[in-house]
Chains A and B, each alone.
Chain A
Amino acid sequence: MSLFNTIIPSLHHGTHEGNGDPHPICRPYFEIDETEGAYGVTVYMPGVAKEGLEITAEGGELRITGKRATKLPEGVTALHRESSDAAFELVLTHDNTVNTGKIEAELKDGILRVALAKVESAKPRKIAIT
């Protein structure tokens, strides 16, 4: 991974623990799809419960943060780690074609689905020819 760290700056930021950062964060895997009336964002956040999830929409920015809730007994020692304890953070920007009053989100089994309704002016319109 040290090679990746050098060439790809994003892997510096937060994805690895033990770098002295008290609040490490990592970017979750996500997908965006689009329908006529809305955008759909699917974010993979394993280990995040409803209580640890926060979604804010402000000024053309949608910010999704999720803290992992791990349910392991206290005093366990790690023998092998591949996942990270870092919280997830994803920031998406849009040019205000999203109706922030109509954002719906659903979290199930570590997958968050956010539906962002488009504002009326951004929806495709059919023009009747007379």
Chain B
Amino acid sequence: MRLIHYTNPNALSIAPTAGLGGRFPRGDIEDQVDWLFGTALAGFSGLARGGQFPVDIFEDKENTYVRAELPGVNRDAIGVEIVEGSLSIQASRKEKSGEGESTVSFNRLVSIPDEVQADKVSAAYENGVLTVTLPKKEEAKPKKITVSVN
């Protein structure tokens, strides 16, 4: 940590700081605040460390898609279930911390529309992202009905 430190990719100036004895790695006050808070808040900008993880929901005519960011999780450690109209996603990741190993658990309950064919749900895990495809029931798909008027 002493030798490698973070540089904001968007920082316009990386001029050395005069007068502060080089305590802050960068120039203006905005960057200093950034530097102070940056590391602590890194987790907010995407990945949650344990507990909840970011979930996206998409849909098209045929399916509803639930996408979850779960980097570094073993496929065997992912559990996807449909419980009373909700989609439950559970996962755990093994992390090496020093000499020991710890397990971080994640779980999330997402409410899904009623018109899902629960028996035809499929899931795929790729590049640390889990995508669950929930096919819609026939009656929920947009349909064109022609009514003849006599």
**Interface on A for B, CB 8 Å cutoff?**
4, 7-11, 13-15, 25-30, 32, 34, 39, 41, 44-49, 61-63, 69-73, 75-84, 89-95, 97, 108-111, 122
CB-based contact A44/B57 at 8 Å? no
**Interface on B for A, CB 8 Å cutoff?**
1, 3-10, 30-31, 33-34, 37-38, 41-47, 49, 54-60, 64-65, 67, 69-73, 124-129, 131
Closest chain B residue to A88, Cβ basis = B46
What are 14 A-B pairs at a CB distance below 8 A? Answer: A4-B41, A10-B37, A76-B59, A77-B59, A83-B55, A83-B69, A91-B6, A91-B7, A91-B8, A91-B9, A109-B125, A110-B128, A111-B72, A122-B3
CB-based contact B45/A47 at 8 Å? no
Q: Is the interface of B mostly helix, strand, loop or mixed?
A: mixed
Task: Name the A residues within 8 Å of B5 (CB-CB).
Answer: 92-93
Contact of A11 among B4, B41, B124 (CB under 8 A): B41
Most chain B beta-carbon contacts within 10 A, residue among A32, A82, A93? A82
CB-based contact A108/B72 at 8 Å? yes
The smallest beta-carbon distance between A75 and chain B, in angstroms, is: 6
Task: Name the A residues within 8 Å of B56 (CB-CB).
Answer: 78, 80-83
Task: Name the B residues within 8 Å of A32 (CB-CB).
Answer: 1, 4
Task: Name the A residues within 8 Å of B60 (CB-CB).
Answer: 73, 75-77
CB-based contact B71/A111 at 8 Å? yes
Give the complex CA separation of A47 and B49 in angstroms.
17
CB-based contact A11/B58 at 8 Å? no
Task: Name the A residues within 8 Å of B45 (CB-CB).
Answer: 11, 15, 26-27, 29, 84
CB-based contact A9/B7 at 8 Å? no
